[in-house]
Amino acid sequence: MKDMLIIDNVTKRFGGLLANQNVSFSINEGEIIGLIGPNGAGKSTLFNCISCYYNADGGRILFNGADILRKTPEAICQMGIGRTFQLVRIFKQMTVLENIMIGAFLKYAKQGDAAAKAKETANLFGFTEKLALQAGSLTISDQKRLEVARALATEPKILLLDEMMAGLNIQEVRETTDLILKLRGMGLTLVLVEHVMEGIMPIANRVIVLDYGEKIAEGTPEEVVNNEKVIEAYFGKKYIAKRRGHTAPLQ
Amino acid sequence: MEGVFIQTLVSGLLIGFLYALIAVGLTMIFGMMDIVNFAHGDYLMVAMYFSYWFFVLFGMDPLYSLPAVTLLLFGLGILTYYLLIKPIINAPMLSQIFVTFGVLIFLRGLAQFLWKVDYRMIPQTVLSGNIHLGDVYIGIPQLTAAAGAIICNGLLLWFLKKTRLGMALEAVSEDKEAARLMGINSDRMFALAWGIGIATVGVAGALLTSFYYVFPEVGANFGLIAFVVVALGGFGSVTGAFAAGIIVGLVEVMSGFLIAPQFKFMFVLALYLAVVFIRPQGLLGKK
Amino acid sequence: MKKGLIAFVIFLGALTAFPLIFHDPFTRHTLIMIMLYAAMGIGWNIIGGYTGQVSFGNAAFFGVGAYATAILLANYGISPWVGMLVGCFFSVALAIIVGYPCFRLQGHYFAIATIAVGEIMLLVFTNWGYAGGAVGIYMPILPESFMNFEFHTSKLPYYYIILVIFVAALGVCRLVEGSRLGYYCRAIKEDPDGARSLGINVQRYKMIAFSISAVITSICGTFYAQYVLYIHPTSTMDLMMSIQLCIICLIGGLGKLYGPVIGAFVFIPLTELTRVYLGSEGQGVDLMIYSLLIIILAIMRPQGLWAIFSKGTAK
């Protein structure tokens, strides 16, 4: 389905700070979208606007045609948008199974059904042996995956993943990209805020680049990597000018 | 009728200054470390008992024993911080609530055990009697208490705004990390805040003992009033507490006079509910 | 699970057989009080222990249950069982009216708000002539019968009624624990914002938990009115009672099914013992003991005495 999620001129202000400014793009069903940009570009703010932890000050956000700008976070999830958080949030005092069950309860009201759904989801993530472990005792990498599992159990259509690969080693990054591709194979649409380029670039259909709250580029990973504005955003005007001024490559 | 109205106004004002003093420690502590001291009113009770016993055992008028009581409460505040608060400063809110809640129960139990539930009152103090201003009678102890409260609040404000130590306290309250980077030891500042916060309650208690009954539960209502003042003034704002104290004092006395005396406390409580629903950050609150 | 069930059946059997072995009214009375407070503690635990919303005003529900029964019986001759239902209705209404605005508030603001509401209720009932004011209401003495919910010759019927209420409260809590509501409440306690990202309407579930808490506590209030046959504001709506409910759950184990039970079995006898053995000299000693326990538990092991009975994994 084309244009499943439409971000239309979204603006978000915090006092004098313009965190998101007229950001516009759309996401089609089944895509893997990368949302990148330097620190402070407004990526997580945008996620928070989409999932309604903040209410955007201007513009529209349309999901399957419905305007979701002023909804509540729980309504967003009920409509089919799941998310994870930049600083991993799981229910540390509960077991792995219980964590996922909380997600499963959205669509499966009875305890038995929710438990079954949770176990099924846990299998996808390789948690079958770890169901009874306390979530707080898992490694950070496992905790992040648990957070995704939990969100997946709500049977969303879109998953917003916020810096899922941060702090992972190369092996873990590869496992994560495999997981994301598997999720896409299951019919999900995924939007990833990322800094780990070797993780997101190989798998994204399209990449959107934010800088200082504005969208500065959009396109395939190859297009974005060679985009002047993007390079400028990451490396700064001075560096670009220096590079242009030298005929020989810098050391 | 006119005279009675002015009388009520004056009474409300006077007690309001005292309420401000009681509340200012509570708001300071919250502003610094996000902890609500549920036992705040009961420290007031302890101060009152100290004053009372200084009188009974040594014949000292509460006004003269005030410095000693203040010092004792200052020490008590610091002790509380190191013993009870420091361990739970990063604990979940539930644990924090229950620790100060535990102190509340402990202090009341202790007072009941040591001094029984009898109501006690100091029979004759250095300042008694009334002043007569036109139609208005002002009790001298109440006036002194209000004056003492104003002086103490003023001193505190001066301390916080004009002295290095005070400004360090404010800095930690604003941004703990930044203050640490500037060499301010937040642990010591927290202890100091507790010391000062409880000491102000000590002053208030000493002033109150001149004209108020002393009994184990006396902290309950004053504590609750302190919460209302802090909520109205804004959790964390010292100036807010000052303004809010006066408002609460006026609301209490005026509602008692204009509507019904037995319900005046209810209006104060209703004020709390109104504030947290309409404007949770209070008048000048930062949080 | 099996072991737990066996233990529970034995416990229930012991409770049922107890008054048949011990006939003296004082022992029976103590156990009645234990079960009454345990049931109320279970009620508090649902909102406070499981959902993490500290209420210092649950005594208000107790009072509503007591007064609804008393007013209906004394003024209109209506059966206390009807009064019980009416009390439940008003208690839920109160829970919703208070909860709807208050649950938007952060933890400690909410706790203070519950104190405020509790104190307001106390003030209102102390000054409300229709409800007997400060003097309260004396229940009319009726012929002994189940229908009339009054028994004069023996405490035995009261014992079994409160036993049923207690077991019912346990049952409700157990049901909640294993249901979606229970899981959601625990999620809300730990991370309300994270819970919302999973589609949980935090406000709604807090209200449901609070309402269940209100109903259980209200039923206990009705029982108390019919047991003691005299109620007044201080005995039914005092802040101290709300505080006692917290104490019971804290020392027994927050958010654990049997926490309030253990808490009540410690609290009531200890309070009675200090009163009997230390008399007026010992007033306040029990409070000091509880408070030290609470403080220590809050600082070190938040699970309460329950942790000693279970194969406690230190969290």
Q: Which domain holds residue B147?
A: 2-278
Using the 3D structure, point to which of A134, A155, A176 is the last residue of a domain.
A155
Percent of chain A as helix, strand, coil, to the nearest 5? 40, 25, 35
Interval A13-47: pLDDT, tens? 988 888 999 999 999 999 999 999 988 888 999 99
- Please work out, in degrees rounded to the nearest 5, the angle formed at the alpha carbon of residue B149 by the alpha carbons of B146 and B153: 145
Per the structure, the count of domains in chain A is: 2
Tokens representing B201 are 């309650």
Contact C197 A85 (CB under 8 A): yes
The residue segments making up the domain with residue A74 are 1-80+159-251
A249 and A171, same structural domain? Answer: yes
In this model, does residue A250 exceed pLDDT 70? no
What average pLDDT does this structure show over A108-112?
94
Q: Which residue has the higher pLDDT, C209 or B10?
A: C209
Cα separation, C198 vs C195, in Å, equals 5
Yes or no, beta carbons of A89 and C191 under 8 Å apart: yes
Q: What pLDDT is recorded for position B287?
A: 47
Q: Are residues A74 and A164 in the same domain?
A: yes
Which residues, listed in sequence order, are joined to residue A180 by a DSSP beta bridge? none
Residues of B in contact with C239 (CB under 8 A): 220
Residue of B nearest to C54 (CA): B94
B284 falls within a domain: no
Query: With 60 as the cut, is the pLDDT of residue C314 above it?
Result: no
Q: What is the pLDDT of residue C313?
A: 41
pLDDT at C274 over 90: no
Average pLDDT over residues C223-235: 93
Cα–Cα distance, C116 to B270 (Å, whole number): 8
> Rounded to whole angstroms, how far apart are CA atoms B209 and B186?
34
* Interface touch B99/C299, C-beta < 8 Å: yes
Q: What is the pLDDT of residues B113-159, one digit of tens each?
A: 898 888 888 877 777 778 887 778 888 888 889 999 999 999 998 99
CATH number where A233 lies: 3.40.50.300
Q: Verify that A150 and A101 share a domain, yes or no.
A: yes
pLDDT at position B4: 80
Q: What's the pLDDT at C124? A: 92
Distance from C-alpha of B110 to C-alpha of B76, rounded to nearest angstrom? 15
SS3 for chain C is CHHHHHHHHHHHHHHHHHHHHCCCHHHHHHHHHHHHHHHHHHHHHHHHHHCCCCCCCCHHHHHHHHHHHHHHHHHHCCCHHHHHHHHHHHHHHHHHHHHHHHCCCCHHHHHHHHHHHHHHHHHHHHCCHHHCCCCCEECCCCCCECCCCECCCCCHHHHHHHHHHHHHHHHHHHHHHHCHHHHHHHHHHHCHHHHHCCCCCHHHHHHHHHHHHHHHHHHHHHHHHHHHCEECHHHHCCHHHHHHHHHHHHHHCCCCCCHHHHHHHHHHHHHHHHHHHHHHHHCCHHHHHHHHHHHHHHHCCCCCCHHHHCCCCCC
pLDDT band at A246 (very low <50, low <70, confident <90, very high): low
Structure tokens at B229: 């003042």
Counting the structural domains of chain B, the total is 1
DSSP state of B235: T
Please give the pLDDT value at position C281: 72
pLDDT given at position A231: 84
Confidence of residue C15 (pLDDT cuts 50, 70, 90): very high
- CA separation for the pair B133, B154 (Å, rounded): 26
The model's pLDDT over A44-71, given as tens digits with 9 standing for 90+, comes to 999 999 999 999 999 999 999 899 999 9
Q: Which 8-state DSSP code applies to residue A133?
A: S
Pairing of strands A189-193, A32-36: parallel
In this prediction, residues C195-218 reach a mean pLDDT of 96
Task: Answer whether C198 touches B (CB < 8 Å).
Answer: no
- Banded pLDDT at C309 (limits 50, 70, 90): low
Q: DSSP code of B150?
A: H
Which two structure tokens, joined as six digits, stand for B270?
Answer: 């209703």
**Looking at the structure, do residues A164 and A147 belong to the same domain, yes or no?**
no
Per-residue pLDDT band for A238 (boundaries 50, 70, 90) equals: confident
Q: Is C315 on the interface with B (CB under 8 A)?
A: no
A154 and A103 Cβ atoms separated by less than 8 Å? yes
Q: Which residues of A touch C205 (CB under 8 A)?
A: none
Percent of chain C with pLDDT over 90: 62
Q: Where are the alpha helices (DSSP H) in chain A?
A: 43-50, 73-79, 96-104, 111-124, 140-152, 170-185, 197-200, 221-225, 228-235, 237-245
CA distance C109 to chain B (A): 8
Say which residues have a Cβ less than 8 Å from residue C277's Cβ, sequence separation at least 6.
none
User: Residue C298's pLDDT band (boundaries 50, 70, 90)?
Assistant: confident
Last residue of a domain, one of A135, A155, A175: A155
Once rounded to an integer, what is the mean pLDDT over residues A104-124? 95
CB contact under 8 A, C291 and B109: yes
Contact present, A211 and A37 (Cβ < 8 Å) = yes
A23 and A147 together in one domain: no
Do C252 and C259 touch, CB atoms closer than 8 A? yes
With CA atoms as reference, the chain B residue closest to C56 would be: B101
CA–CA distances in Å: residue C45 to residues B170, C109, C186, C288, C303: 39, 19, 12, 22, 13
Amino acid at C153: T
Angstrom distance (rounded) from CA C213 to CA C207: 10
Residue A91 touches chain C, beta carbons under 8 Å: yes
Are A135 and A39 contained in the same domain?
Answer: no
Q: How many CA atoms lie within 13 A of B161 on its CB side?
A: 9
Angstrom CA distances, C253 to A246, C49, C185, stand at: 72, 8, 16
Q: Which residues of C touch B262 (CB under 8 A)?
A: 123, 126-127
Q: Describe the strand order of the beta sheet including A66-67 as a list of residue ranges.
A: A17-27, A5-14, A58-63, A66-67
Percent pLDDT > 90 in chain A is: 73
Question: Does B286 fall in a domain?
Answer: no
User: Is the model's pLDDT at A82 over the cut of 50?
Assistant: yes
Q: Dump pLDDT digits (tens) for B66-84.
A: 999 999 999 999 999 999 9
**Which one of A155, A174, A203 terminates a domain?**
A155
Query: Which residues of C fall within a CB distance of 8 Å from B231?
Result: 109, 112
Average pLDDT score, chain A: 90
Give the residue from chain A lying closest to C177, CA to CA: A111
| Residue B252 maps to a domain | yes
Q: Looking at the structure, do residues A144 and A164 belong to the same domain, yes or no?
A: no
Q: Name the pLDDT band for A251 (thresholds 50, 70, 90).
A: very low
pLDDT > 70 in chain A, percent:
97
Shortest CA distance from B90: residue in chain C: C299
Residue B95 has pLDDT above 60, yes or no: yes
One domain for residues A52 and A173:
yes
Question: What are the φ and ψ backbone dihedral angles of A22, each rounded to 5 degrees?
Answer: 50, 50
Inform me whether the pLDDT recorded for C273 exceeds 90. Answer: no
**What's the first-to-final CA gap in chain A, in angstroms?**
48
The residue of chain C with its CA nearest to that of B38 is C112
Check whether residue A42 and residue A133 sit in a common domain.
no
Q: Which residue has the higher pLDDT, B45 or B260?
A: B45
Interface check for C47 against chain B (CB to CB < 8 A): the answer is no
Interface of C with A (CB under 8 A): 178-180, 183-184, 186-187, 190-191, 193-202, 313, 315
CB contact under 8 A, B99 and C295: yes
pLDDT, position A174: 92
